[in-house]
C-alpha cells in the first residue's frame, strides 16, 4: 500500500490529466455517493494518506508470519598482538534464539497444524468499513492466525508460539589479521533468530584493540623507539630492534643523531585489503649518562682535548 503523505503530488504526476488521476468527484458525490462501493486497491495511491486520518487504512503488508530477526551490535576487545596475527574468539551473547522444543515453528510437538480457515492460508483478510466516502475495503492481518496462515491445536509451551526464546548463545568469531581499533565485523546470520522461521538477523561486532607498550600504529605502518649509547651513535653499530614477530638487526651508521628515524620495510601491520605488510619506522634516542665514573670521565676529558 501507499505510504505517501496526504496530498502527495505524485498522484497528479502519474495521472497525466492534471487532476487526481482523472477521478470524477461529481460521480462520487452524486451517482454513487454514500451508496457506492469504492475499492481501495484502485485508489491506493490517491487515498493512501487518508488511512492514518480516518482509520480505514490501505493495503497492509504488515503480516505477523515469518519475520526476519533483529540485527545486533556488540563489542570485542583484543590485544595489539592479536590484531597483528588475527585470532579466533568465542563470545557469548544473550539474544532471541530458535526454540529447540518446537524447532522454531511455534507449535507444541505432536500438535495438529492446519491451514487457517479464516484467511485460507493467506494471512490476510479483507474488511469493509463505512466512511464519509462510502464503503471502503481494506486488507488487514488475519485476527485468528495473526498473519501466519496456519492454526495450531496447541502452541509450544516453551516459546508460547513465537518460535524463539531469549537465552545465551555462543558465537565463534574469526578476527582477521591487520584489523585496527574501531573497525567493525559483520557476522551474517549471527543476530537474533527470526520469528516463525524467518531469516536470522546479522551481528555487527565493534573491535577495540588494546594499545601496545612498544608500538604505535598509523594505518599499516608501525612506529617504535630504540635507545642507543653515545659511543654507538658516534662510532656506529648493529643493534637489535623489536618487531611484531621477534627481533631484527638494525645498522646504526656512525655520527647518528638523536631522533633520526630508520625505515625497515615490510615489518609493519598486515594489510586487510590486498596482500603485503606496512613498514616499521625506528626512531633512535641517544642515552646521555647523568653520571660518569672516574675512568669514563677521564676518557671524556681526553675526547674534549681532541675537540669532541
Give the pLDDT score at 228: 97
Across 35-49, 121-135, 220-234, the highest mean pLDDT is recorded for 220-234
User: Is the domain of 256 the same as that of 288?
Assistant: yes
Give the pLDDT score at 198: 84
Looking at the domain assignment, is residue 3 inside a domain? no
Residue 6: pLDDT above 90? no
Looking at the domain assignment, is residue 173 inside a domain? yes
Q: Quickly state the pLDDT bin for 282 (edges 50, 70, 90).
A: very high
Paired sense of beta strands 221-229 and 237-243, if any = unpaired
User: Is the domain of 279 the same as that of 191?
Assistant: no
Among residues 96, 88, 100, which one has the least CA distance to residue 171?
Answer: 88
User: Is the domain of 237 the same as that of 171?
Assistant: no
236-275 tens-digit pLDDT = 999 999 999 999 999 999 999 999 999 999 999 999 877 8
User: Is the domain of 231 the same as that of 104?
Assistant: no
Whether the CB-CB separation of 193 and 200 falls below 8 Å is answered with yes
* Helix, strand or coil, per DSSP, at residue 224: strand
Looking at the domain assignment, is residue 254 inside a domain? yes
Residue 287: pLDDT above 70? yes
User: Is the domain of 222 the same as that of 262?
Assistant: yes
Looking at the domain assignment, is residue 55 inside a domain? no
- Domains in the chain: how many in total? 2
User: Is the domain of 170 the same as that of 235?
Assistant: no
Share of the chain above pLDDT 70, in %: 79
Looking at the domain assignment, is residue 183 inside a domain? yes
Give the pLDDT score at 64: 59
* Helix, strand or coil, per DSSP, at residue 273: coil
Residue matched to cell numbers 655520527: 255
Q: What CATH code is carried by the domain that includes residue 295? A: 2.60.260.20
Looking at the domain assignment, is residue 30 inside a domain? no
User: Is the domain of 106 the same as that of 165?
Assistant: yes
Distance, in Å, from the CA atom of 5 to the CA atom of 50, rounded to the nearest integer, reads 9
Residue 227: pLDDT above 50? yes
Residue 301: pLDDT above 80? yes
145-190 tens-digit pLDDT = 777 888 888 889 999 888 899 999 999 999 999 999 999 999 999 9
Sign of CA dihedral 212, 218, 224, 225: negative
User: Is the domain of 181 the same as that of 275?
Assistant: no
Looking at the domain assignment, is residue 125 inside a domain? no
Across 49-58, 186-195, 207-216, the highest mean pLDDT is recorded for 207-216
Residue 24: pLDDT above 90? no
Residue 30: pLDDT above 50? no
Looking at the domain assignment, is residue 53 inside a domain? no
User: Is the domain of 177 the same as that of 266?
Assistant: no
**What contacts 172, CB < 8 A, 6 or more positions away?**
88, 89, 90
User: Is the domain of 189 the same as that of 221?
Assistant: no
Distance, in Å, from the CA atom of 5 to the CA atom of 240, rounded to the nearest integer, reads 71
Determine the structural domain holding residue 196 and report its residue range. Answer: 72-112+153-209
User: Is the domain of 94 the same as that of 201?
Assistant: yes
Give the pLDDT score at 168: 94
Average pLDDT over residues 193-208: 91
Give the residue, 138 or 202, on which the prediction is more confident.
202
Whether the CB-CB separation of 284 and 258 falls below 8 Å is answered with yes
- pTM for this prediction: 0.66
User: Is the domain of 277 the same as that of 173?
Assistant: no
Distance, in Å, from the CA atom of 205 to the CA atom of 271, rounded to the nearest integer, reads 20
Among residues 129, 127, 154, which one has the least CA distance to residue 60?
Answer: 127
Please give, one letter per residue, the 3-state secondary structure of 111-180: CCEEECCCCCCCCEEEEEEEECCEEEEEEEECCCCCCCCEEECCECCCCCCCCEEEEEEEEEEEECCCCC
Share of the chain above pLDDT 90, in %: 51
* Helix, strand or coil, per DSSP, at residue 50: helix
Give the pLDDT score at 305: 85
Distance, in Å, from the CA atom of 284 to the CA atom of 255, rounded to the nearest integer, reads 12
Amino acid at each position: 500500500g501507499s505510504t505517501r503523505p496526504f496530498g502527495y503530488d505524485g498522484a497528479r504526476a502519474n495521472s497525466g490529466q492534471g487532476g487526481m488521476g482523472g477521478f470524477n468527484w461529481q460521480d462520487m458525490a452524486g451517482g454513487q455517493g454514500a451508496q457506492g462501493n469504492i475499492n481501495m486497491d484502485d485508489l491506493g495511491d490517491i487515498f493512501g494518506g487518508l488511512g492514518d486520518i480516518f482509520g480505514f487504512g490501505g493495503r497492509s503488508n504488515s503480516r505477523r508470519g515469518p519475520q526476519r530477526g533483529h540485527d545486533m551490535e556488540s563489542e570485542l576487545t583484543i590485544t595489539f598482538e592479536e590484531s597483528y596475527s588475527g585470532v579466533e574468539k568465542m563470545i557469548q551473547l544473550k539474544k532471541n534464539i530458535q526454540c529447540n522444543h518446537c524447532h522454531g515453528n511455534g507449535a507444541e510437538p505432536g500438535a495438529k497444524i492446519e491451514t487457517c480457515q479464516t484467511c485460507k492460508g493467506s494471512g490476510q483478510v479483507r474488511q469493509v468499513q463505512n466512511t464519509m466516502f462510502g464503503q471502503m475495503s481494506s486488507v488487514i492481518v488475519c485476527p485468528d492466525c495473526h498473519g501466519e496462515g496456519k492454526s495450531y491445536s496447541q502452541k509450544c509451551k516453551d516459546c508460547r508460539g513465537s518460535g524463539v526464546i531469549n537465552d545465551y548463545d555462543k558465537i565463534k568469531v574469526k578476527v582477521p589479521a591487520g584489523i585496527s581499533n574501531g573497525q567493525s565485523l559483520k557476522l551474517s546470520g549471527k543476530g537474533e533468530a527470526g520469528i516463525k522461521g524467518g531469516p536470522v538477523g546479522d551481528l555487527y561486532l565493534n573491535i577495540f584493540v588494546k594499545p601496545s607498550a612498544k608500538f604505535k600504529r598509523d594505518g599499516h605502518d608501525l612506529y617504535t623507539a630504540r635507545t642507543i649509547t653515545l659511543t654507538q651513535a658516534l662510532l656506529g653499530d648493529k643493534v637489535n630492534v623489536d618487531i611484531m614477530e621477534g627481533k631484527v638487526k638494525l645498522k646504526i651508521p656512525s655520527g647518528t643523531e638523536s631522533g633520526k628515524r630508520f625505515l625497515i620495510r615490510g615489518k609493519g601491520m598486515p594489510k586487510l585489503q590486498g596482500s603485503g605488510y606496512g613498514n616499521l619506522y625506528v626512531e633512535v634516542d641517544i642515552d646521555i649518562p647523568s653520571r660518569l665514573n672516574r675512568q669514563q670521565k677521564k676518557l671524556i676529558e681526553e675526547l674534549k682535548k681532541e675537540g669532541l
